[in-house]
């Protein structure tokens, strides 16, 4: 199931105004220190849009914004057992962009699959 779309933005404060104008509620903001990113989750029924603002230029999102500008960063798929999916993909030789399953915004466990293994899209596998 689609969990969320991650959108890199220069400013969450500016970006959220557009979505709030559409009547979309912001579920909360959070900073994930080790990822050097501030997040805001926009609630869309069963799915969400995650706004991603770099807290440091040398972060993944900071480098993405410098290279590509604002826009879609990743697609997140919700899976029941993130650890099993991680092991299975690793065993099958799928190129992962994460070294391990981590805990991120909202306490969700997640990892990323490299775009070379997914047809050019950065995919995040996230648990409940």
pLDDT tens, 78-106? 999 999 999 999 999 999 999 999 998 87
Domains in the chain (CATH in brackets) are: 2-126 (3.10.180.10)
Asked if 75 contacts 125 with a C-beta cutoff of 8 angstroms, the reply is no
10 Å Cβ neighbour count for 11?
A: 12
Residue 111's SS3 state is strand
Q: Measured between alpha carbons, how far is 106 from 35 in angstroms, rounded to an integer?
A: 14
List 75's β-bridge partners, or say none: 5, 123
Give residue 128's pLDDT band: very low, low, confident or very high (50, 70, 90).
confident
Asked if 119 contacts 113 with a C-beta cutoff of 8 angstroms, the reply is no
Kindly state the tokens that stand for 41: 């989750």
């Amino acid at each position: 199931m689609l969990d969320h779309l991650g959108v890199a933005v220069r400013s969450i404060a500016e970006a959220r105004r557009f979505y709030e104008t559409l009547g979309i509620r912001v579920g909360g903001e959070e900073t994930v220190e080790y990822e050097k990113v501030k997040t805001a989750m926009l609630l869309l029924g069963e799915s969400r849009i995650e706004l991603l603002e770099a807290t440091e230029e040398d972060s993944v999102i900071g480098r993405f914004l410098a290279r590509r500008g604002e826009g879609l960063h990743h697609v997140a798929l919700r899976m029941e057992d993130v650890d099993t999916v991680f092991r299975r993909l690793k065993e099958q030789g799928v190129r992962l962009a994460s070294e391990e399953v981590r805990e991120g915004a909202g306490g969700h466990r997640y990892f990323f699959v490299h775009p070379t293994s997914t047809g050019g899209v950065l995919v995040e596998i996230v648990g409940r």
